[in-house]
């Protein structure tokens, strides 16, 4: 997380789980970033996130710059995800 913060990247988690379930998950994993409960799927739909069932969506990540989606990872793998995000953020910084 510190390498993300150094680049000015803010992490926000969104899922279709209830807020109470997200709090338990956040506490269990010691996450320091906010989690948003999108129980109605409004954000899921707006970002075009794949749904496996009406309440279970794919893990996907987005980098947003200047109010626009600048990068998307539609096949998130927890093992390699941080490195992919950092590489994408670095590439976006070079384009500026």
pLDDT single digits (tens) 58-95: 999 999 988 899 999 999 998 998 899 999 999 988 87
Token pair of 15, please?
């899922």
3-state SS, 30-58, equals CCCCCEEECCCCHHHHHCCCCEEECCEEC
User: pTM for this one?
Assistant: 0.82
pLDDT single digits (tens) 14-47: 999 999 999 999 999 999 999 999 999 999 999 9
Q: In which residue are the tokens 């390699």 written?
A: 80
Token pair of 54, please?
């009406």
**Domains contained in the chain, CATH given:** 2-95 (3.40.30.10)
Question: How far apart, in whole angstroms, are the C-alpha atoms of residue 47 and residue 17?
Answer: 17
Q: In which residue are the tokens 């590489």 written?
A: 87
What are the residues facing 65 on neighbouring strands? Answer: 68
């Amino acid at each position: 997380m510190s390498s993300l913060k150094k680049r000015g990247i803010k992490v926000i988690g969104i899922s279709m789980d209830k807020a109470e379930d997200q709090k338990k998950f956040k506490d269990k994993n010691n996450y320091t970033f906010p989690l948003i409960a999108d129980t109605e799927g409004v954000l899921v739909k707006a970002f075009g996130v794949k749904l496996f069932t009406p309440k279970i969506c794919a893990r996907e990540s987005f980098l947003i710059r200047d109010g626009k989606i600048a990068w998307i990872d539609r096949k998130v793998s927890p093992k390699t995800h941080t490195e992919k995000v950092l590489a994408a953020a670095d590439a976006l910084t070079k384009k500026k």
